[in-house]
Amino acid sequence: MGEHVESRPTDETALPVVHLRRPRWGDPATPGQLPAAAAALVGGDNPVDTGTDPDDVTLDDPAIPAAARSALVDALGEANVTADHRQRIDHTRGYSTPDILALRSGDASDAPDLVVTPGSHDDVLRILQICATHRVAVVPFTGGTSVVGGLTPDRVGFVGVVSVDLCRLDDLVEIDEISRTATLQAGVRGVRAEELLRARGYTLGHFPQSYAGAGIGGYAATRSAGQSSAGYGRFDEIVEGLTLATPRGTIVVGTAPRSAAGPDLRQLVLGSEGAFGIITEVTVRIRPTPEYRLFEGWRFDDFDSGAAALRTLAQDGPMPTVLRLSDEVETAINLADPDAAGTDADATAAGGVLVVVGYEGRHEEAEMRRVAARRVLENAGGTCLGTGPGEAWRAGRFRGPYLRDPLLDVGVLVETLETVTYWSRLGDLKASVTAALTDALTAAGTPPLVMCHISHVYPAGASLYFTVVCPQADDPIAQWKAAKGAANDAIRAAGAGITHHHAVGRDHRDAYHAEIGELALEALRAVKQTLDPDGVCNPGIML
C-alpha cells in the first residue's frame, strides 16, 4: 500500500499560481461548475444571474491627496502606483460571501484609492511613513482571500486607502537545509512557495482551502491553518521568524527556535492582521518532499463516535498527516468530495459519517503510522472504506470554493464559519451553533442545510467548521449577517473561540473584544499605539 510520489507527477498541490479576479474564485479559465446532482438538490432550474460585470462597476475618483500620491510615486516609481479600475476592483474586500455579494450587486464602495507594489522591505517602510504622514490607511495584500473583512479598513478619519500588494516580494530568500528552514518574502503565494521548495526537494506542507490564491504574509498575519495541520502543524506553529515593517521602523523576531527570553514576540506578530504593520519576510520550517502519500476513508456510525476516534489519535497518537470528520449531513451531501457534491457519498458510509485520514512522509515511517492508526480507528468502531473516498477528497481538496459562485448564480446562499473549543465541550458547541444557524435562517423564511466537519485536532480540543446552504432572501447580505450574528452569540455563550483559522478582521471584531476582555484589548492597543502612532495600519481590523 501507499504511493511513491515520484511516480505521480500530477500532484494536486502543484497548481499554477492564480491571480484572483474578483468577484469569482480561481482561474477564470476553469470556472466553477455545479455538479448535476448538486444543481438538482439546490435549485438547478432557477434563473442564472452572475451579477454586475466588475468592469461596469462605478468607482469613486481616488481620494488620495496629490502630495501623498506623488510621494508614493517618488518612492516606488510610477509603475508601482496605480489607480487602474481593474486593479482597484481586484483589491476590494475579500472572499466572504457578503464580500462577493456586495461586488456582484455593483457595490465597490470599499475599493482602495490606490494599489501600490513595493519591491523591498525598505519600500514598505517608505510607504508606511508616507501614509502615516498623510493619514492614509494602509491595507496589506498578498492573496486577498480574507473571509472576515480583513481587507476592509475603516475610512473614517483617513484621507484615503492604499492597498499594499506584496506581489513583487516573491522570492525565496534563503534555505537552510541543516536547520530545515526557509526564508520567504511575504508576497510569495502558497502555490509558488511549494514550487520553489519542491525544486530543492522540500515542502512547506501548508494547504489551506485558499491555497490557489493566498500567500505567505497572509498566512502569518491571520494564523492560517492548512488541511494537513495534523502532520505539518498550523502556520503559526511552523513559523520560526518574522520581519515586520511598521511606521516606526523594523522589528525582527525569531532569534532562536525556542527561547525563555520574555514573551514570544513571534506570537504577537502572528495574527496581527496588518494592525501593527506589514510582515515582509517569514522564516518557516520545511520538510523533505514526502515519498509516501496515502489517503483513506473510514466510516463511523455517528459524529460522536467519529470524534472520539479523532480525539484518541490526537491525544495518544499516532497522528496522521490529514485527519477530518464530516458529520452526518455533510457525509450525506458528500461535501468531502466537492466534484461529486450532491451525490450520495460512498455507499458504505451512508447513514454514518465519513472520516478522511491521510498519511505523508518517509515510506517506512508513514506506513508504520498508518498501521498503528488503523488499529486505533478499528478499536474505536471505524470501518475502513479503502482509498476511494480518501483519494476523492484529496483530488477535490481545493475545489470547494469553486462551488460557491455557481450556487450564488442560481439564488442559493452558501457560506462557512468555524470555531474551536476543548474536547469536553465540542458536542454541545456543535449542537448550539447548528441550532442558532437553523433557527435564525428558518425564522427568516429560508430554512438552511447546516453541515459540519472537524478538520483540525489538538490534544486538548478541535475545530468545528460549518457550511450553511439555503435559498437567498431579498437582501442576502442582511440575511447572512443575522445568521452569523446568531452563530457568534452561540459560540460566545459556549465559551468557545470566535475563530479557529479565519482570523478576526472586521467581522469578528466585537466578538473578539468580548472574548479577550477590555484589559487585554487595552494592552494590544498600547502595542499598536507604539508601533503605529498615527493608526494608519489596517484601521478597524482586529482592534
Q: Which of residues 241-260 bind a second copy (CB under 8 A)?
A: 246, 248-253, 255-260
> Is 319 one of the binding residues for a second copy (CB under 8 A)?
no
Bond into 23 cis (ω within 30): yes
Q: Out of 102, 278, 420, 433, which residue is the one contacting a second copy (CB under 8 A)?
A: 420
Q: What number of chain residues touch a second copy (CB under 8 A)?
A: 87
Amino acid at 152: T
> Is 362 one of the binding residues for a second copy (CB under 8 A)?
yes
Residues in the chain: 543
Give the distance from CA 27 to its chain's centroid: 18
Ranges of H-type helices in 325-474: 328-333, 363-379, 387-395, 400-409, 426-443
- 359 contacts 391 by C-beta, under 8 angstroms: no
Number of H-type helices and E-type strands within the chain = 19, 18
> Is 265 one of the binding residues for a second copy (CB under 8 A)?
yes
Shortest distance in whole angstroms from residue 229 CB to a second copy: 9
> Is 263 one of the binding residues for a second copy (CB under 8 A)?
yes
Q: Please give the Cα distance from 269 to 438 (Å, whole number).
A: 37
> Is 424 one of the binding residues for a second copy (CB under 8 A)?
yes
When the beta carbons of 276 and 398 are compared against a second copy, the nearer one is 276
> Is 533 one of the binding residues for a second copy (CB under 8 A)?
no
Shortest distance in whole angstroms from residue 196 CB to a second copy: 19
Name residues whose C-beta falls within 8 Å of residue 526's C-beta, 6 or more positions apart in sequence: none
Stretch that binds a second copy, among 56-64, 102-110, 137-145, 514-522 (CB under 8 A): 514-522
Q: Out of 309, 503, 536, 537, which residue is the one contacting a second copy (CB under 8 A)?
A: 503
When the beta carbons of 216 and 469 are compared against a second copy, the nearer one is 216
Q: How far is CA 117 from CA 70, 77, 80, 168, 187, in A?
A: 15, 10, 5, 7, 10
Site residues for a second copy, 58-117, by CB under 8 A, read none
When the beta carbons of 163 and 499 are compared against a second copy, the nearer one is 499
Contact letters (x/-) for a second copy, 207-246, by CB under 8 A?
---------------xxxx--------x-x---x-----x
Shortest distance in whole angstroms from residue 427 CB to a second copy: 10
Q: Out of 66, 79, 199, 261, which residue is the one contacting a second copy (CB under 8 A)?
A: 261
Name residues whose C-beta falls within 8 Å of residue 51's C-beta, 6 or more positions apart in sequence: 23, 103, 104, 105, 106, 408
When the beta carbons of 144 and 471 are compared against a second copy, the nearer one is 144
> Is 489 one of the binding residues for a second copy (CB under 8 A)?
no
Q: Out of 14, 67, 350, 460, which residue is the one contacting a second copy (CB under 8 A)?
A: 460
Q: Out of 282, 440, 450, 498, which residue is the one contacting a second copy (CB under 8 A)?
A: 498
Shortest distance in whole angstroms from residue 115 CB to a second copy: 26
Contact letters (x/-) for a second copy, 147-176, by CB under 8 A?
-----------------------------x
Cell of 416: 462557512
Closest CA to 353 of 370, 374, 340, 334: 334
Q: Out of 322, 504, 536, 537, which residue is the one contacting a second copy (CB under 8 A)?
A: 504
Q: Please give the Cα distance from 534 to 118 (Å, whole number).
A: 21
When the beta carbons of 181 and 479 are compared against a second copy, the nearer one is 181
List, edge to edge, every strand of the sheet that includes 136-141. 81-82, 114-116, 160-165, 136-141
Q: How far is CA 282 from CA 47, 162, 185, 274, in A?
A: 46, 23, 6, 14
Residue 278's SS3 state is strand
- 279 contacts 315 by C-beta, under 8 angstroms: no
Closest CA to 227 of 93, 105, 401, 484: 401
**What is the H or E stretch that residue 491 is in?**
helix 476-493
Name residues whose C-beta falls within 8 Å of residue 543's C-beta, 6 or more positions apart in sequence: 275, 509, 521, 524, 525, 528
> Is 502 one of the binding residues for a second copy (CB under 8 A)?
yes
Q: Please give the Cα distance from 529 to 532 (Å, whole number).
A: 5
Stretch that binds a second copy, among 48-56, 266-274, 385-393, 396-404 (CB under 8 A): 266-274
Site residues for a second copy, 298-317, by CB under 8 A, read 311, 315-317
Q: Out of 1, 48, 350, 526, which residue is the one contacting a second copy (CB under 8 A)?
A: 526
> Is 269 one of the binding residues for a second copy (CB under 8 A)?
yes
When the beta carbons of 79 and 519 are compared against a second copy, the nearer one is 519
